[in-house]
């Protein structure tokens, strides 16, 4: 279990990760780090750092680095006029969402600045040129279909054999939530034959790479 103080910090941070799913995310990342030691981890979609605390704590426990990838301009569903818009993350100088200061403050509060490296940019572009294998990959980026598909295509091959791919907001029932993570990430991962599901907690799916 994650350190209780870090868990409190995660839960006090803006974001969308339920506590039980965050705990499962931490445990999956720790298992991945032990199964494939010395390989670093990547989180796609960090927002203000809520989920990053759980994954960062796991990376620190495993002695590796977590690269937190986000453009920090907010996903489609975070924009003005959408359900998950939060005007407190809008930069008054530009009128645009900028979650990077919130993310940085969260990492400072949690004491994870030596473990977590913020990588600011477009996930698909960064993933396409990524050069190292990963023990753990967590995809929780934009939930538009094209964005979700691009995240999967850019990153999934970097997961090492016996490493873990974790996917957030996987809903098989359309009435429960958007379908992009399910149809554009989860189903392609399973149908590829390269990943096998090992656990499900709420909308979090944990898959291990088997070939």
Catalytic positions: 143
Provide the CA 47 distance to its chain's centre, in angstroms. Answer: 9
Q: What are phi and psi of 50, to 5 degrees?
A: -60, -60
Decide: 35 and 135 in contact? Cβ < 8 Å: yes
Tokens describing residue 21:
């799913």
Question: Which residues are within 8 A (CB) of 34 and not within 5 positions of it... i.e. 6 or more apart?
Answer: 62
The dihedrals phi and psi of 195, each to the nearest 5 degrees, come to -130, 145
CA atoms within 13 A on the CB side of 135: 22
């Amino acid at each position: 279990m994650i350190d209780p103080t870090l868990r409190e910090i995660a839960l006090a941070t803006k974001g969308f990760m339920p506590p039980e799913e965050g705990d499962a995310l931490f445990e999956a990342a720790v298992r991945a780090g032990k199964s494939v030691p010395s390989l670093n981890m990547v989180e796609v979609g960090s927002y203000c750092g809520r989920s990053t605390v759980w994954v960062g704590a796991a990376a620190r426990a495993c002695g590796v680095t977590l690269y937190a990838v986000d453009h920090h301009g907010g996903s489609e569903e975070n924009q003005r006029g959408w359900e998950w818009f939060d005007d407190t993350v809008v930069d008054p100088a530009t009128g645009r969402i900028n979650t990077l200061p919130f993310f940085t403050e969260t990492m400072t509060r949690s004491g994870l600045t030596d473990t977590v490296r913020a990588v600011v940019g477009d996930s698909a572009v960064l993933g396409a040129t990524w050069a190292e294998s990963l023990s753990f990959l967590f995809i929780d980026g934009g939930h538009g279909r094209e964005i979700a598909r691009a995240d999967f295509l850019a990153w999934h091959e970097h997961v090492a054999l016996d490493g873990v791919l974790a996917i957030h907001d996987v809903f098989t029932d359309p009435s429960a939530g958007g379908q992009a993570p399910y149809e554009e990430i989860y189903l392609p991962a399973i149908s590829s034959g390269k990943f096998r599901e090992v656990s499900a907690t709420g909308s979090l799916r944990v898959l291990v790479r088997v070939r």
